[in-house]
């Protein structure tokens, strides 16, 4: 059964999130909780919080639920947190933050891991493995999809598929990226205009994070172009949102 175009779809959101892996930040080796995140969400959340505290991070609430390693980009506002995230990104890619030039940054530095949580009504689809802020482009492409054929929307693997049926997008359940069209099953529907508006809002949120990163880097490094390259690469943004252009 599909949820139709009802007022709840006015609340459709595409929430940008950044992944903070506990193993990237912990300085004390501690046993991981027994069981999966679904089985023991509170235990995993505590494990995550303690690991981040090793690095001096008091993390915002996990999103979309307890046990997640994601935090909302909107919550990444404190300069100390942004500084730690940027430094960790350089360390993960074996780049010296003080000396890397723009070419090194463009070629080696990876965007923040995480992705985008689709929330609409009672449905919530979170990023999967191997996804990040760079994958906003897939949501942007899908928001302009006009075909009734299934289109893969990369949210990591497993991924989801979507197709346009009249004034709605049908969204599949989590599906293997090599699935045949006949094996893809729709799970719910989102009005086209609602998803398009959600994508624009996600663009704005990620762009705002880029500007916050630049402002903080400017307090540490004098090369503005280099600071912009760092922020642009970490957030995978190349221009301002359409409503600010």
Per-chain mean pLDDT for the chain: 92
Domain count, the chain: 1
Nearest in space to 161 (alpha carbons), one of 129, 144, 138, 130: 138
Residue 83 lies in a domain: yes
Q: What is the pLDDT of residue 59?
A: 87
CA angle centred on 63, ends 197 and 14, rounded to 5°: 10
Residues 155, 127 contacting (CB under 8 angstroms): yes
Residues 45, 149 contacting (CB under 8 angstroms): no
Cα–Cα dist 88/100, whole Å = 14
Q: What is the pLDDT of residue 238?
A: 54
End-to-end alpha-carbon separation of the chain, Å?
40
More confident residue, 80 or 244: 80
Cα–Cα dist 223/237, whole Å = 19
| Span 209-231, pLDDT tens digits | 999 999 999 999 999 999 999 99
Local structure of 115: helix, strand or coil = strand
Q: For residue 182, count other CB atoms closer than 10 A to its CB.
A: 7
In the chain, beta strands by DSSP E: 13-19, 70-72, 114-120, 123-125, 151-153, 160-165, 168-172, 186-191
| Span 139-175, pLDDT tens digits | 999 999 999 999 999 999 999 999 999 999 999 999 9
Tokens of 174: 């989590």
Give the global pTM.
Answer: 0.91
Residue 204 lies in a domain: yes
Residue 58 lies in a domain: yes
Residue 6 pLDDT > 70, yes or no?
no
| Span 9-62, pLDDT tens digits | 447 999 999 999 999 999 999 999 999 999 999 999 999 999 999 999 998 999
Domain that holds residue 167: 12-235
Local structure of 134: helix, strand or coil = helix
Residue 241 lies in a domain: no
Q: What is the pLDDT of residue 58?
A: 92
């Amino acid at each position: 059964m599909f949820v139709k175009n009802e007022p709840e779809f006015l609340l459709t959101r595409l929430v940008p999130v950044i992944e903070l892996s506990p193993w990237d930040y912990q300085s004390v080796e501690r046993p991981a909780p027994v069981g999966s995140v679904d089985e023991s969400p509170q235990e995993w959340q505590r494990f995550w919080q303690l690991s981040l505290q090793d690095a001096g991070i008091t993390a915002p609430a996990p999103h979309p639920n307890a046990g997640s390693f994601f935090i909302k980009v909107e919550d990444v506002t404190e300069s100390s947190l942004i500084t730690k995230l940027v430094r960790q990104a350089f360390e993960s890619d074996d780049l010296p933050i003080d000396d890397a030039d723009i070419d090194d940054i463009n070629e080696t530095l990876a965007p923040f891991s995480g992705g985008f949580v689709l929330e609409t009504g009672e449905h919530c689809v979170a990023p999967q493995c191997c996804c990040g802020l760079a994958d906003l482009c897939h949501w942007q492409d899908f928001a302009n999809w006009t075909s009734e054929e299934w289109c893969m929307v990369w949210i990591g693997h497993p991924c989801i598929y979507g197709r346009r049926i009249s004034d709605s997008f049908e969204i599949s359940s989590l599906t293997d990226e090599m699935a045949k069209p006949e094996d893809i099953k729709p799970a719910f529907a989102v009005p086209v205009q609602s998803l398009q508006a959600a994508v624009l809002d996600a663009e704005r949120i990620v762009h705002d994070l880029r500007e916050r990163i630049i402002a903080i880097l400017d307090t540490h490094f004098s090369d503005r172009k280099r600071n912009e390259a760092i922020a642009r690469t970490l957030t995978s943004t190349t221009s301002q949102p359409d409503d600010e252009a």
